[in-house]
Amino acid sequence: MKTPRPDISALAAAAGVPGAKAAAAAPEAPARLLVKVCGMRDEAALAGVAALGPDFLGFIFAPKSPRFVGEVLAPELVRALPPTIWKVGVFVNETTANILAAAQRFGLAAVQLHGQESPAQCEELNEAGLLVLKAFSVGEAVDFDALLPYVPFCDYFLFDTKGAAPGGNGAVFNWNLLQSYNLPVPYFLAGGLGLEHAAELAALRLPGLAGVDLNSGFETAPGMKDANRLAQMLTQLRSGAPTL
Ligand SMILES: O=C(O)c1ccccc1N[C@@H]1O[C@H](COP(=O)(O)O)[C@@H](O)[C@H]1O
């Protein structure tokens, strides 16, 4: 069954992003960075973090992750989150059938594919009505040409630090590697972001940068988000970002 897909245009306009698959290579910064808080698994923190008004909330469906949402969080709680927040399921090399089943059960509107998923799988999920974020691990260099086959089927890319685990490594990569980004898909910056990066991120000018992904840098333990630190981060990101 097809998962209803919210209209991305309002979100893109609010963030000053000219819409998915459009003009991401413009060098100017978005009006404000989109914020995705990832790795939610703690029922007690969920309402508090949602009340901060992140643009996206991520739930990890990779069984090996310490943030695996599995049976920990009741699907009703996720489905009941405000419709203004995009609910993102994070998957690593999962089958399309399993992803669609989880999307249906938890009311996910978006998927973050954090493994070696193919462009064809991105297309399948995109055609199923889901917003598609494709993650890529960044080491010493990025081969943007290798991302070209994904362009037609992804709403966002996400650049994360290469590490021992597929994601959630808590390490920062060299953001300057993205200075030469020239593809028409906006992206999220991820990997070890913490409160100490707030000022730098708010002032960051990178072509195609649409948002930031906050995960292990805002936890008291894996999956246990610190709403106070997140509140400080959102305030700094949103007040520090320039207006167009
Ligand atoms: O957080 C995890 O455990 C995880 C597991 C498997 C795939 C992705 C995962 N998280 C994603 O990793 C990046 C960076 O996280 P961090 O800031 O370095 O902790 C982020 O996009 C998370 O969504």
pTM: 0.89
Report the nearest atom of ligand 1 relative to the CA of 62: 6
What is the rounded CA–CA span in Å between residue 114 and residue 135?
Answer: 5
Residue written as token pair 């459009």: 22
Do 67 and 168 contact (CB within 8 A), yes or no?
A: yes
CATH numbers and ranges of domains, the chain = 8-14+32-240 (3.20.20.70)
pLDDT-based confidence at residue 49 (cuts at 50, 70, 90) = very high
pLDDT band at 32 (very low <50, low <70, confident <90, very high): confident
- Which residue's alpha carbon is nearest to atom 6 within ligand 1? 167
Residue pair 139/167 in contact by the 8 Å Cβ criterion: no
Quote the tokens at residue 138.
């960044």
Atom number of ligand 1 nearest to Cα 135: 21
* Pocket of ligand 1 from Cβ distances under 6 Å: 38-39, 58, 60, 62, 65, 67, 90, 92, 114, 158, 160, 166-170, 190-193, 213, 215-217
Amino acid making up residue 120? A
Residues 155-213 have pLDDT tens digits of 999 999 999 999 999 999 999 999 999 999 999 999 999 999 999 999 999 999 999 99
Give catalytic residues, as residue numbers.
Answer: 38, 160
The CB density around residue 51, as the number of other CB atoms within 10 Å, is: 11
Q: Return the residue whose CA atom lies nearest to atom 5 of ligand 1.
A: 167
Ligand 1: nearest atom to the Cα of 68: 3
